[in-house]
Structure formats: C-alpha cells, structure tokens
Amino acid sequence: MLILALDTATPAITVAVHDGERVVGEARGEGAMAHGELLAPAIRDALAQAGATMDDLTDVAVGVGPGPFTGLRVGVVTALTLSGSLGLAPHGVCTLDVLAAEAGDGELLVATDARRKEVYWARYVDGRRVEGPEVSKPADLAARFPGLPVHGRGGRLYADVLAHVPGVDDPSAAALAGLVARGEAQELPLEPLYLRRPDATPQVSTKRA
C-alpha cells in the first residue's frame, strides 16, 4: 500500500505519502488563493521525499471539505484525476474529521474559516463526528455549545467568542493518510462538500390589480 493524501480545503495545502505503517514523505504550503500553483509541486516534493513515483501509488485520499469553492475544488479534482488515470483506490474524508483526529478525545468542536465571518464546524465525541458539518456564525455556534472546546483555525480567528484551544489550526495530510491506512475514516464520495448559504434569496413580487 502506498497512499497519496492531500487536502486543499483551507489556506494550508498539505500532501503526504503513507506506506500503510508510517508517513514516508510530506510537503505543505500556504496561500488562500494559490492552491492550484502550490499543490502539484507539493505532490512532487512528497513523492521525492518518499523515494516513490506516481506509478508506485495504490490509493489516493483527499479532504473533501467543507471549504471555499476554488481551493477545495483543486484538491478534489486532482484526486479524481489521479484515481481515474492511475487506477488508484479513492478515499474521500471530511476535512474536519482530519483536524479532529489530531485534537484528542472527549467532546469538542472543530472549526475552520468559512470566510464572510462564518465558520465550518462539526462536533465530535472521542474522535467520532456526531453532528455536522455545518456553517454558522461564531456567536451562534458559541450560544449553541457554550464552553465546548473549539479546535482549528476557525476557533482561533474568533477566540473572543469561541472557547478556542491552541494547537493544530489546519488539517494535516499525514493525519488524513493515517485515518485511511488504519481503516478509521468515515469515507465520503470524492465530491466537494460545499456548505454555503445563498448570497441572495429570490424576491417575491406582488402584482397589483
């Protein structure tokens, strides 16, 4: 087994190569608008570090979000392309699950930046997602789960409202690959998981007689 794992659902572009027992190559970059430019070099660097080529891969795992449209789409389309062209076994995983895998046990929230002063979030108990993912205003999330620890960049950005726990801000492809290798991932289709309220709602006009 040789898994290529990647996630582009947040400003962090993260890639890892996992041989079924451990991470053997890893690379990352950051840039909210540079996912398309940074992902391919990161894949190249992670494979080089692992001493492997595309032909050695057996599986591809990708964080399917939630996340902003452009960045998220880059990762999912890349995974779909690699799966189809190389015959790799595909694994889609909620990006919030990847963060939760590094957050520890107990009841907690994971939140990432959804922009527009909102966060993508999910609730976990001992690493298992029990609610979400959803998108909410930080104040609404705090009111819904008062005092519940919040891990991730979304919690840090709104630490004045949410009970943020310092630590891991962004998902790690290494953690994603580990979940898949251990058979612990709640797998999803390789489709971008968009959670966004409409920017506009249809207006209903009343005709006058």
- What is the CATH number assigned to the segment(s) 3-95+170-188? 3.30.420.40
List, for residues 136-153, the tens digit of each pLDDT value.
999 999 999 999 999 999
| 199 pLDDT more than 60 | no
CA dist., res. 157 & res. 159, Å (int): 6
Question: For the domain 102-164, what is the CATH superfamily, name and number?
Answer: ATPase, nucleotide binding domain (3.30.420.40)
Q: Calculate what percentage of the chain has a pLDDT beyond 90.
A: 85
Intrachain domains 3-95+170-188 and 102-164 with the same fold = yes
| 86 pLDDT more than 70 | yes
Tokens of 153: 């960049």
CA dist., res. 194 & res. 190, Å (int): 12
CB-based contact 41:32 (threshold 8 Å): no
Domain limits, the chain: 3-95+170-188, 102-164
List, for residues 106-123, the tens digit of each pLDDT value.
999 999 999 999 999 999
CA dist., res. 122 & res. 130, Å (int): 8
